[in-house]
Amino acid sequence: MLDAPEGAPDLAIAVLGCGTVGTQVVRLLTEHADDLGRRIGRGVRISGVLVSDLDKPRDPAVPTALLTTDASALIEGADVVVELLGGTTTARDLVLAALTSGASVVTANKALLATSGPELYAAADTAGVDLLFEAAVAGAVPVVRGVRESLAGDRVQRVLGIVNGTTNFILDEMTTGGLDFDVALTQAQDLGYAEADPTADVDGHDAAAKAAILASLAFHTRVALADVACEGIREITAADIAAARESGGVIKLLAVAERVPATADRGEAVAVRVNPVILPTAHPLAGVGGAYNAVVVEAEAAGRLMFYGAGAGGAPTASAVLGDIVSAARHRTHGGRAPAESASAALPLAGPADVVARLQIRLLVDDRPGVLAQVATVVAEHGVSIESVRQQVSDEGAAVLAVVTHEADEASLAATVEALRTADGVRRVLSAHRVERA
């Protein structure tokens, strides 16, 4: 049944780290060893599990005999190294050591890829081995393989993803319960959906790391974390969400990477950002609730594809890690390797003047004749045209205007918002959010 030569030793899988995901990976590797061996064409065995403390109590799925604190010895004998340590220092050193020694590497560590990606991709290329990371972007959702392989013959135009379950959960609670951000955050923390220090999630940094990875894959270019324009959800109010609902939409935190057309001055470029977006309810991402993740990929020939599933959790993340282990193990058995992350296109990053968007700007204005005309004039002066205006009377003799623009470049939109802050009759800019089409 196996395709490897008779008597070939089992492939040695070294697991670095034994937290929630590591425990599940060890459990699945052990329970499904026969099935995996058949799918790979060669037997597999866990050669060891790297931990920092041998005596800590652990899940019985992890045999004590496999535990080790000797990273070097573990990596040296491994065919596939599975990095589940997290962090960017020890993890980087060990992944580099593994690649250099000729082992294939599977990782779920988005921060590592966002900070040391180019160095690690280059090391994998030099060694001619795999560096696979399906679990780093959206948990069990197989979007990395989708973009890397299924769409390898197409041209990706845009990627839009809900890639952070914590913020999606908080926005859901705000939407269904009419809660303000602080209340919903506390609730998410109480339920264990948000950490005590929620910064990485709610300020969009986690999503930004994933956006950088997705953009690099989709556009065959190198995008670093620092290249991602990033805005979180702290400023979203219950009133923003109510206003979105009134206009038939929901607010989601999206990671967006898009191809920007060539101009007279430069070739094609790529723009990458994370920010709250108003999605019409008919958009496939609008219904993605709770801790689920989903990524829409728009490609020239394929049109709009969506990948949806559990974005976190031990077992779902382990499923993605196992899929990568099988791929890496098959390559070591039958030859071949996954498409390398060659930055063949090396697209430049687009500036705000290159990217177009539609904006919903909510303004608190004096409730008197002439203010709408004044607002419309300021918008028009910046070359932006208005698609719709809705007026709601508010409590204190002032009115709230919700202005939705037609598509315009971001630089003009930003200038419009700035000018509105000091426009005659405008008391305050309440919010300014991008609006997607269905």
**Residue ranges in contact with its own copies by CB under 8 A:** 1, 24, 28, 32, 35-36, 38-39, 134, 140-142, 145-146, 149-155, 220, 284, 287, 294, 299-310, 313, 315-316, 318-327, 330-331, 334-337, 339, 342, 344
**92, 148, 210, 222: which is the annotated catalytic residue?**
210
Torsion of CA 170, 173, 175, 178, to 10 degrees: -120
Minimum distance from CB of 30 to its own copies (Å)? 12
The DSSP bridge pattern shows strands 269-280 and 426-435 to be parallel
Instruction: Say how far apart CA 128 and CA 13 lie, in whole Å.
Output: 18
Q: Is 184 helix (H, G, I), strand (E, B) or coil?
A: helix
Residue 370 marked ligand-binding: no
Beta strands across the sheet bearing 131-132: 67-68, 44-50, 11-16, 80-83, 104-107, 131-132
Q: Give the nearest distance from C-beta 83 to its own copies in angstroms.
A: 16
Joined together, the tokens standing for residue 333 give 């058995």
Tell me phi and psi for residue 260, to 5 degrees.
-110, 130
Q: Any known ligand binding at 77?
A: no
Residue corresponding to tokens 């197989």: 142
267 marked ligand binding residue: no
Known binding residue 317? Answer is no
Shortest reach from residue 378's CB to its own copies, in Å = 39
Which CB, 155 or 368, lies closer to its own copies? 155
Tell me the C-alpha distance between 282 and 388, whole Å: 19
Is 56 one of the annotated active-site residues of the chain? no
Cβ-Cβ contacts under 8 Å for 396 (sequence gap 6 or more) = none
Closest CA to 46 of 78, 70, 4: 78
- 181 vs 308, beta carbon nearer its own copies: 308
Of 362, 363, 347, 352, whose CA–CA distance to 408 is shortest?
352
Of 164 and 275, which has the nearer Cβ to its own copies? 164
166/319 with CB nearer its own copies: 319
What is the rounded CA–CA span in Å between residue 85 and residue 104? 16
For residue 186, the minimal CB distance to its own copies (Å) is: 26
Which of these, 195, 216, 198, 200, lies nearest to 87 by C-alpha position?
A: 200
Residue 267: DSSP 8-state: -
Question: Does 217 show up as a binding residue in the annotation?
Answer: no
Q: Is 300 or 387 the residue whose CB approaches its own copies more closely?
A: 300
Binding residue per annotation — 56? no
Element (H, E) at 369: none
The response to whether 20 counts as a known ligand-binding position is yes
**Of 263 and 344, CB closest to its own copies:** 344
Q: Is 335 annotated as ligand-binding?
A: no
CB of 192 to its own copies, least distance (A): 18
Q: In whole angstroms, how close is the CB of 149 to its own copies at the nearest point?
A: 6
Which residue lies nearer to its own copies by CB, 217 or 251?
A: 217
- 3 state DSSP class of 124: helix
Question: What is the 8-class DSSP label of residue 148?
Answer: I
Rg (CA), the chain: 24
What is the rounded (10 degree) CA torsion for 239, 244, 246, 248?
A: -160
Widest Cα–Cα separation across the chain: 88
Shortest spacing between CB 286 and its own copies, in angstroms: 9
Q: Is 22 annotated as a binding residue?
A: yes
Helix (H, G, I), strand (E, B) or coil at 74: helix
Binding-site positions for NADP(+): 16-23
Binding-site positions for NADPH: 110
Binding-site positions for L-homoserine: 195
Binding-site positions: 16-23, 110, 195
Q: Which residue numbers are catalytic? A: 210
